[in-house]
Chain A
Amino acid sequence: MIGLTHYLIVAAALFCIGAYGVVVKKNAIAVMMGLEFMLNAININLVAFNHFLHPNLVLGQVFAMFIVGIAAAEVALGLAIILSLYRQRHSIAVDEMDILKW
């Protein structure tokens, strides 16, 4: 029988993969993909908790839908920024975008 723990392990694994991508990948698009991983990990958690703890409610699903929506907006915005950055600097390497300091 697949219980809550299994879902949580999958979500945690997904989150760590995403976080690893965010911290390590050079390519900005890969970083964004990492972010998506993390968001989806959270979605899994929300849905799983909802199912196992309060089966009669749809609160978790609603939240998950919101996050999907926000993630879409965020991706659109992020890609736009990356695009304009690429036009300026001909590169989307995250470690080169470090002028916002000191």
Chain B
Amino acid sequence: MVIEQFGWLIPVFPLVAFLLIVGVTYRFKLLSAIVATFFAGLSLALSVLIMVQKVINPVTTEKFINWLSISTPTQTLLNIQLGYLMDPLAAVMSFIVTLVATLVLLYSIGYMKGDEGFSRYFAYISLFTFSMLGLVISNNYFQTFFFWELVGLCSYLLIGFWFFKPEAADASKKAFITNRWADFGFLVGIIGLFTVFGTFNFGQLATQIPQYQNALILLGLGLLVFLGPVGKSAQFPFHVWLPDAMEGPTPISALIHAATMVAAGIYLVARGYALFYSVENVMQVIAYVGGFTALFAATIALVQKDIKRILAFSTLSQLGYMMMALGVGSMTSGMFHLTTHAFFKALLFLGAGSIIHAVHNQDIFKMGGLAKKMPISSWTFVIGSLALCGIFPLAGFWSKDEILTVTLQHHFVGLFVLGTLVAFLTAFYMFRLIFIALFGQKRSDHHAHESPWTMTLPLIILAVFSIFAGLVNTPWFYQWTGFSFSTLVYFHEPEIPVIHWSIAGLSTVAALLGIFTAWMIYARRLISADMLATKMSFLHRVLSNKYYIDELYAWLFKYVMLGLGKVLDFVDHVVIDGLFDGTAGAIRATGVRLRLFQTGRLQQYALLIFVAVAILVLWGVR
């Protein structure tokens, strides 16, 4: 139990690394990398220790200090805590974050070699890790928001890492501002929660919310707070930033897509589950937003050509899955999928990074035949893809099966069908990518070669996790060890894992069908892809352009917001200034007229004086 008392050190280590790099080692590039990786490793070690503790004794530890309070002489009005909350949920999450962060840092040593901003890069990642971990161990909404925003800042810094690329600068701004729109709702929601319940603390809210009667207010608050995760986890309609976020260095995409940024949204929904769970309508909204995003993003991924873009849309789709699981009422399955997804999505992105590093291109139609040149990168990529598709017995199989099961159990038949369809689409687009990029002929003049060990080692580690991580939520594992994921991370009641073979079989068939279709089209070329594209040219165009949502937003911004700004600027300059300058002008004009009385002619003045005196005298006489 002693070790748990020091759990708050988990985020502190990366912070120390950040400060050290900025303050001391900025000029020594390799040293910066080592510092960052070392401190992330320390956090990882501590997280592992704490997770083991939590498995043995799953209790909740909460500590806090008062950070800010506002009071009258007689009572405290507002009290904000700086807190540390460690339960199995936080333990699992901090393990994922530190593991992926450490591997990404290690990988980046090779990937970022020779970059001018090497130290800056490692400083940012350390700050990013710190922010995410601060969010994970937070015990109240305020602190969560605090770190939530810092996570957003770090994503801004990292996506725009190559600030000289206009696309990167645009993408980073887009990510931050899209998230800001969502955070607006989150912030209002938090303040609303405080106004209604007088506290930000998760635990206190969890006990107070079920007793609160006004369902309408809870609905509003739930939806407002949910806006935050919609933005961070890139759910429709705030999804636009995530595909563009790949303008940053590829390891950053791995970090953002797997562990730090988008996971924060899912994590928050799980953390604040008491609020969402209390109103059925909010849960339905979460479920349908998730389900819709899953399908929506999967269809876009079908036609993309950029390897990172395909992966980005696949992340969107999988995040939709997680939201759906949370929405139908199973926190366990949502978090479980987040966990397994973290491993294989980090693997896929790092693998993609390794490929891009070798080929210097991101277009899958310019790759081809990589499996022979870079076996480790390619085969770990295939493992990641199989896990993502949900092929038995890899990690994705167990978590996806779990989600589809709970969806059906909670009578969301539509979402179940949708989920199965998404499984098919996922398998199709992932293997489209694999058949085009990794196998077949070389499609351009590239000289690919395997990456150095600092890059392949993380791939192998992640591949191992992608294969075996799913087992922690199987009945066999439970029988063997006496615990499983679902007995640790749960809402209300722990569950003992069961497998529904019929559902599992159905989703596996869907996935295999997807792989088979991809094989038919892109490996055997029995059906021509171009022919399909021309036959359904409208659909193809809409999908290629991501349903024109970015265009819609750009239009709204340009013509509505900037237009309004111009109108108001006009009001400022012409109407208000006109009014005030007009007043000044009128006074001035009066003066201009009146001054004509002052002719400078002595005799006129004299005459005026005489006339005036005469009038006064006559008036007086009267």
Name A residues whose Cβ lies closer than 8 Å to a Cβ of B.
19, 22-24, 31, 94-95, 97-102
Contacts and interface: CB of A to CB of B under 8 A. Distances in A.
B610 A101 contact: no
B616 to A, nearest CB: 15
**6 A-B pairs closest in CB distance:** A101-B600, A98-B600, A23-B607, A100-B600, A98-B601, A101-B598
B603 A31 contact: yes
Chain B interface, >50% SS class? helix
Contacts of A24: 603
Interface in B603-622: 603, 606-607, 610
Interface residues of B, number: 10
Contacts, number: 29
Contacts of B602: 31, 94, 97
Contacts of A31: 602-603
A23 B600 contact: no
A29 to B, nearest CB: 13
Contact of B595 (A19, A23, A99, A102): A102
22 contacts: A19-B606, A22-B603, A23-B603, A23-B607, A23-B610, A24-B603, A31-B603, A94-B601, A94-B602, A94-B603, A95-B601, A95-B603, A97-B600, A97-B602, A98-B599, A98-B600, A98-B601, A100-B600, A101-B598, A101-B599, A102-B595, A102-B600
Nearest to A102: B595
A94 B595 CA distance: 21
A95 B603 CA distance: 8
A80 B601 CA distance: 20
B606 A102 contact: no
Interface string B265-282: 000000000000000000
Contacts of B607: 23
A24 to B, nearest CB: 7
Contacts of A98: 599-601
A99 B600 contact: yes
A98 B600 CA distance: 4
Contacts of B603: 22-24, 31, 94-95
B313 to A, nearest CB: 76
A75 to B, nearest CB: 16
A95 B607 CA distance: 13
B618 to A, nearest CB: 15
A98 to B, nearest CB: 4
